Structure 1
């Protein structure tokens, strides 16, 4: 495992007010980073940042209210983070929501908001990060996109959430070593199973999910360990770090898509 140090780095985290976002902010600051966090819930976000400031000093963290489903608002707050700290080295696109009703029962439900927050804001946040990181001095950095094990497993109970997280997985894996080679930016993802965040607790109340949640849940601290692996392991680029009750933390194996394409082309040529 390589060694990207977070000491002295500036991290931008969406959804900092609760769950993974708040715990990761504390972990990063404890290791010497500074954090600019944003959240749509002003009270929760400010509470997290105030607690960090009380423990580590007033310059350790800053907060702004942001609705990541509004891409212009996300850009505004990202620029505020750069203005506040002068650069951004680590971007964590963490904000996310689940489906609040069955798509089959209520096709109109909140499906667009799920896509706006869970996929489109991730793409926008990554785009903002790349544009900033390639121009700052010194250039480079790390982006971590939050996917889910739902990004690999179809689920009729939450098809839109699955679609969004599959999108995050595919998007992140597509931005692999080429982006790192050309721009010195590593883009990785984390894909946890259920953990007892607010979303996890909500899922545990669903009769269709309750047994699965109980059997597969992992500690929040283990998920934060995986975030840190995605950030600090400089051998990872375009990788998805999975977190499951069965295997703990592991990295999704990569397939050599070029080799597959070459084999398919050779087979097609042989048939001519």
Structure 2
């Protein structure tokens, strides 16, 4: 088992990609800590995981990753409960599709607060525990949008994604900086940039018809001509969180079905 008894914090771990990562980690023996904005969703996910009979286990905490004090208190609570923090998966994310000329400061702030500041706050909160152990794995979830996606959402979906693209570009660069600063302390910091995956976020700002059009348009952007499966992304994150990736630092792994080859 690649994560046997490792304590792994997963933000946004109650659903979608985060839940898939949590499920996969528990299969590999991890003690997963789900940090989610929804206490109810986090509790439900932890109960389901613990009831599945895997070698690992799951706990949950309600956390707003954009609130620095909450994040610090959460990290302290995890450290006190488990005695260590081995892995951090910065997965929590939001989006607001707005045309650039119509986007309000509230739209910009809502996305940047979670998608970029949240990554910074969580990494800063858990890093001291990792430094004290001389061991840690931080994997940030970015997006191909952070490397040059179009300024509007494909498939007829409403609005653009300027704030989201800016946040994810920031995550990619933050990953490089953290890798340089934390690497000498035995901490590997890397990033995964997903292409198009079907998750609850896909339909959060779209009608069913828009989702259908969006899927058809986005799937064709990849060389493999299909959306990704969340288990495929979870396996990639697992690799970077494991000791198999012990000599990888500051890198962005594109899990996009070849989409970046067509950009």
- How would you bin the TM-score normalised by the shorter chain? 0.7 to 0.9
Deviation at 1:59, TM superposition (A): 7.7
CA distance in 1, matches of 2:64, 2:91: 13
- Alignment equivalent of 2:202, drawn from 200, 203, 207: 200
1:194 shift after superposition: 1.4
1:101 to 98, 121, 130: 98
- Matching of residue 224 in structure 1 with residue 234 in structure 2: yes
Residue equivalent to 2:186:
184
Shift of 1:189: 0.6
> Out of 226, 232, 256, which is 1:244 matched to?
256
What is the alpha-carbon distance in structure 2 between the residues aligned to residue 150 and residue 42 of structure 1? 29
Equivalent residues, number = 243
Answering whether residue 77 of structure 2 is matched by residue 80 of structure 1, we say yes
Unaligned stretches of 5+ in structure 2?
A: 152-159
| Cα shift at 1:203 | 7.0
Cα distance in 2 between the residues matched to 1:72 and 1:222: 34
Structure 2 distance, partners of 1:231, 1:24, is 11
Higher CA-based Rg: 1
CA contact (8 A) 1:142 1:231 kept: yes
Task: Work out the CA distance in 1 between the residues paired with 2:171 and 2:127.
Answer: 16
User: Normalising by structure 1, what TM-score?
Assistant: 0.81
TM-score, scaled relative to structure 2: 0.84
How far has the Cα of 1:25 moved from its partner?
A: 0.8
Cα distance in structure 1, aligned partners of 2:182 and 2:31? 25
Q: Point out which structure has higher relative CO (alpha carbons under 8 A, 6+ apart).
A: 2
Structure 2: how far apart are the matches of 1:241 and 1:59?
Answer: 26
User: Post-superposition shift, 1:174?
Assistant: 2.3
Instruction: For 1:38-49, list aligned pairs within 5 A.
Output: 38-49=35-46
Please, what is the CA RMSD of the aligned residues? 2.5
Residue 160 in structure 1 maps to residue 167 in structure 2: no
Contact map agreement 2:96 2:205 (CA 8 A) in 1? no
Q: SS of 1:101's equivalent?
A: coil
Cα deviation 1:24-82 (Å, max 9, x = unaligned):
11111111110111111122111110011112379811111111111111111121111
| Cα distance change on mapping 1:203 and 1:173 into 2, 3 Å | farther
The verdict on how the C-alpha distance between 1:17 and 1:150 changes in structure 2, with shifts beyond 3 A counting, is same
CA deviations over 1:139-179 (Å, ceiling 9, x no partner):
21100111000110143210010000000001102233553
Distance in 1, Cα, partners of 2:219 & 2:170? 26
